[in-house]
């Protein structure tokens, strides 16, 4: 059937749901249920993570197409099937999702005290949806998971969130749903055109040029909101601020990658002409995102909001990279997505640590934490530097590769898109200074405690991963080298070899 002999992708997808059913069946008083729910969720997610490591080991890094393929007929007469498969582009996101879920569950351990069972259930459903979305090799299946992610996330923000949680949850839901409706239309049009929804076939189906533009904008509406790109980004700060820590972590870590993943999966390979035609639009929006949101981040007074805005800026770099259509750009975008998944998730955890103690995210309420929390200060510094893109940390590799890729397109794109290097340093260091450095003057901070063993267990893998990705990124880039290469070749085949911008004569 596939490389491992059993349907591993389906197992990874549906196992969390089984864990959820177990949680549902627990009976007893509230404390028992809560404890059981926590442990069941943790063990389920850990088992899923352990299973997903099979992908790491058995994935054939030289093969650009889908692997571990599963296919069951579903609506055979309409060309729809339950098809699962991962290629170099999606496989690491599956691993990212399975790795971050146990961390999220652990981070919510004794922070979530109400409706623990439902919270854990929502998280396991969310994991099913995320993993399913990255594993889907059929457009209809993809669409269902893509939309399905909304439901548990909507509940996580709306039920366990902060004071303005309802506003934030509804804004999050409506923004993303509005975009998705257009994607559904595009999906139907493509289905009508190709007669199947099998991605492996669709990726090589020629779509008439006249249709490509409309499809491109339909996709853009959906994915731009998810990325999020400027100017449809404002749902993100609200959602992050109101969401509980675990929700923010998974939102920044995995959910934000869905939009860029969509661009890579659908827009670029299926609509090459429209993608190339409208790339300047994407560049413009992305550069605005980098500069505009970096500036806005500097003015923030709320730690989570600051990091949320920084996410928009970092994802701007991702969208630039995707639409450079060259190996360095796309590989850089993929790497930036992965590193942002780790680093921003860790930054939200860092905020969560102090929020759990002081119940405020106001930057001005902190200062001088290094006196009481040296281990926290070091951890926070590692991720701050990774967010700034210091070489040797995960953040640098993607940003630099995108810079290299974008220089092939245009000098100013490289320079302006790279300006996040400067602006990012300004807002992150400014925040770090106000929170961690300085004198410890506030009375209530004088008894604040350093990282607990549980928190150390949360951060240790993320620190290791951040440095690993920075020092030996080849462990990760080899996964997508073949797929990216094939994608770039396929894209280039649509265009006659033109003189690259820049160097004219030798």
Residues that bind another protein (CB under 8 A): 171, 174-175, 231, 233-234, 237, 292, 295-300, 326-328, 331-332, 368, 370, 385, 390-392, 396-397, 400-401, 403-404, 407-408, 411, 414-415, 418-419, 421-422, 425-426, 429-430, 433, 436-439, 471-474, 477, 481, 485, 501-506
CB of 234 to another protein, least distance (A): 5
Q: State how far the Cα of 340 lies from the Cα of 342, in Å rounded to an integer.
A: 5
CB of 173 to another protein, least distance (A): 12
CB of 485 to another protein, least distance (A): 7
Residue with tokens 């006249």: 210
* Cβ count near 163 (within 10 Å): 9
Pinpoint the alpha helices (H) of 410-442.
411-417, 420-436
CB distance 93 to 36 below 8 Å: no
Cα angle 88-93-94, degrees, rounded to a multiple of 5 = 95
Of 225 and 255, the one with the shorter C-beta distance to another protein is 225
Q: State how far the Cα of 225 lies from the Cα of 427, in Å rounded to an integer.
A: 24
Which tokens belong to 39? 């442990």
CB of 263 to another protein, least distance (A): 19
* Cβ count near 208 (within 10 Å): 9
State the virtual CA torsion across 449, 450, 456, 459 in degrees, nearest 10: 110
Of 43 and 430, the one with the shorter C-beta distance to another protein is 430
CB of 11 to another protein, least distance (A): 32
Q: State how far the Cα of 318 lies from the Cα of 315, in Å rounded to an integer.
A: 5
CB of 477 to another protein, least distance (A): 5
Q: What's the count of helices (H) and strands (E) in the chain, helices before strands?
A: 23, 2
CB of 332 to another protein, least distance (A): 8
Of 2 and 410, the one with the shorter C-beta distance to another protein is 410
Of 202 and 416, the one with the shorter C-beta distance to another protein is 416
CB distance 227 to 188 below 8 Å: no
Q: State how far the Cα of 268 lies from the Cα of 259, in Å rounded to an integer.
A: 13
Q: Tell me, what DSSP letter sits at residue 77?
A: G
Of 114 and 478, the one with the shorter C-beta distance to another protein is 478
Of 6 and 411, the one with the shorter C-beta distance to another protein is 411
Q: How far is CA 79 from CA 143, 193, 229, in A?
A: 15, 12, 33
Of 37 and 296, the one with the shorter C-beta distance to another protein is 296
Of 123 and 154, the one with the shorter C-beta distance to another protein is 154
Bridge partners (DSSP) of residue 71 are 83
CB of 368 to another protein, least distance (A): 8
């Amino acid at each position: 059937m596939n490389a491992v002999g059993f349907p591993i992708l389906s197992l990874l997808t549906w196992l969390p749901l089984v864990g959820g059913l177990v949680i549902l069946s627990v009976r007893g008083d509230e404390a028992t249920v809560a404890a059981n729910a926590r442990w069941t969720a943790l063990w389920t997610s850990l088992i899923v993570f352990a299973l997903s490591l099979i992908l790491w080991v058995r994935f054939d890094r030289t093969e650009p197409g889908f692997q571990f393929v599963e296919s069951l007929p579903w609506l055979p007469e309409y060309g729809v099937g339950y098809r699962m498969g991962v290629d170099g582009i999606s496989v690491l996101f599956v691993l990212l999702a399975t790795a971050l879920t146990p961390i999220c569950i652990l981070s919510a351990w004794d922070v979530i005290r109400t409706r623990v069972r439902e919270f854990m259930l929502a998280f396991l459903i969310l994991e099913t949806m995320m993993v399913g979305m990255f594993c889907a090799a059929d457009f209809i299946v993809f669409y269902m998971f893509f939309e399905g992610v909304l439901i548990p996330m909507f509940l996580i923000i709306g039920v366990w969130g902060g004071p303005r949680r309802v506003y934030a949850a509804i804004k999050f839901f409506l923004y993303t749903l509005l975009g998705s409706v257009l994607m559904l239309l595009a999906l139907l049009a493509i289905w009508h055109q190709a007669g199947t929804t099998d991605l492996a076939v669709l990726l090589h189906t020629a779509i008439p040029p006249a249709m490509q533009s409309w499809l491109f904008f339909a996709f853009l509406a959906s994915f731009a909101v998810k990325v999020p790109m400027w100017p449809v980004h404002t749902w993100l700060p609200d959602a992050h601020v109101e969401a509980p820590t675990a929700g923010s972590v998974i939102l920044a870590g995995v959910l934000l990658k869905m939009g860029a993943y969509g661009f890579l999966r659908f827009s670029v390979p299926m609509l090459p002409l429209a993608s190339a035609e409208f790339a300047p639009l994407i560049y413009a929006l992305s550069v605005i995102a980098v500069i505009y949101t970096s500036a806005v981040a500097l003015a923030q007074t709320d730690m989570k909001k600051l990091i949320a805005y920084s996410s928009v800026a970092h994802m701007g770099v991702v969208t630039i990279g995707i639409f450079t259509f060259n190996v360095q750009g796309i590989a850089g975008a993929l790497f930036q997505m992965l590193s942002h998944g780790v680093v921003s998730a860790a930054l939200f955890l860092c905020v969560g640590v102090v929020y759990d103690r002081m119940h405020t995210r106001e930057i001005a309420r902190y200062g001088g934490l290094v006196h009481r929390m040296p281990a926290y200060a070091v951890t926070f510094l590692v991720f701050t530097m990774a967010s700034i893109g210091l070489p040797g940390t995960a953040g640098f590799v993607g940003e630099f590769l995108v810079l290299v890729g974008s220089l092939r397109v245009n000098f100013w794109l490289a320079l302006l898109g790279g300006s996040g290097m400067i602006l990012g340093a300004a807002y992150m260091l400014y925040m770090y200074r106000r929170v961690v450095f300085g004198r410890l003057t506030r009375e209530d901070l004088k008894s604040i405690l350093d990282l607990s063993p549980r928190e150390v267990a949360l951060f240790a893998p993320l620190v290791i991963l951040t440095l690993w990705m920075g020092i030996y990124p080849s462990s990760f880039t080899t996964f997508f080298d073949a797929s990216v290469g094939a994608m770039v070749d396929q894209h280039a085949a649509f265009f006659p070899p033109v003189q690259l911008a820049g160097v004219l004569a030798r």
